[in-house]
Every structure is written in structure tokens, then in C-alpha cells.
Amino acid sequence: MRLRLHCPFCGGSLGPLSGNSQICSSCNEPFYHDAKPCAAVLVLDDEGRLLLGRRGIDPRRGLWDIPGGFCNPDETPEACAVRELREETGCTIELTGFVAHLIDTYGEDGDHTLNAVYTARIVEGEPVAADDVAELAWFALDRIPPTSELAFRSTGQAIERLRSR
């Protein structure tokens, strides 16, 4: 986790990490290093194959991931999952189930994330890589790339949860 240098409220210097917060030396407000809410989607086609996207940006550029991203303010994880999938593939989906809440970090020293993972099916469109995705591909569940080629710990955990169903 990267520590913050400046207070988001007044711009003053933030002190050392204490628990999960840093206190501002000027206004005394705490800055909390809480997990950032995210949503991700395990999209399956009629043949039971899983859609993965190769990341086109850092962190972990070039590695495989499931479509997803950070929740916007006042956005539910379900709405985030649908929006992120549309942004990254151009498709409209229907969520078909909930898989898990998974904890991770966004990059080596990045923010902690709380990932709500869903299953879904495409109801409109053909997937085309867009936004921060460089490539899309369908994988049989027994032919998923090795863990070393997956972008995040939670990516592998979500796929394992799917396989164990």
C-alpha cells in the first residue's frame, strides 16, 4: 500500500500510518486506507467458455483478467459490473449469479480492493476489446492461462470459485 503525502481536505502533510489511517498534521482529519469497491464479471458463453481480457494498461499490463473495475460514487456493484463489461467489450449482459467478495490490491503497492464477482451471459453484441482492454479471448475452463499470466490474485480466485461450482 502506498502511503499518501497530502491531506485531501486541506493539503497539509499526512502523518505515518497508524492502523489503516494517516492523520493530517494541519487539520487533524484522518485519511483512511479503506478497500476500494470493485465489481468483476465471469462471462460464460453457451459452450461454457470464459471471456478474459488482456490488460492494456498498468498495473499488470499484458496479463489476463476478467472484465471489471472500480465502482463509481453512488453505483451499486451490480450496476458497475454491467457498465464495466459494456465499456470493455461493447456488450450488454445479464447477471446470472453472485460468486464471491474477494480482497486484493491494485498493483504491487496499490490500494486495497473489495471485488464483488458475478457470473453473466451476453444478451446483446459481440465482444470487441475496448477501453483499457487490449485483447479479448474465450477460454475453456480447463484451458485457462496459468496463474503467472493472470493479472491479479482475485482473478485466479474467482476462476477457481467458478470451476468448483
What confidence tens digit (pLDDT) does each residue in 72-115 have?
999 999 999 999 999 999 999 999 999 999 999 998 888 999 99
Could you tell me if 58 and 136 lie in one domain? yes
Could you tell me if 20 and 72 lie in one domain? no
Query: Are 50 and 159 a contacting pair, CB within 8 Å?
Result: yes
Domains identified in the chain, total number: 2
Neighbouring CB atoms inside 10 A of 84's CB total: 24
What confidence tens digit (pLDDT) does each residue in 14-54 have?
999 999 999 999 999 999 999 999 999 999 999 999 999 99
Distance CA 91, CA 88 (A): 8
Total residue count of the chain as it appears in this document: 165
Could you tell me if 123 and 144 lie in one domain? yes
Could you tell me if 65 and 7 lie in one domain? no
Could you tell me if 121 and 139 lie in one domain? yes
As a whole number of Å, the end-to-end CA separation of the chain is 33
Could you tell me if 141 and 74 lie in one domain? yes
- Domain of 119, CATH number, reads 3.90.79.10
Which residues are within 8 A (CB) of 147 and not within 5 positions of it... i.e. 6 or more apart?
156
Question: Reduced to 3 states, what is the DSSP secondary structure of residue 2?
Answer: coil
Query: Residue 20 sits in which domain range?
Result: 1-33
pTM over 0.75: yes
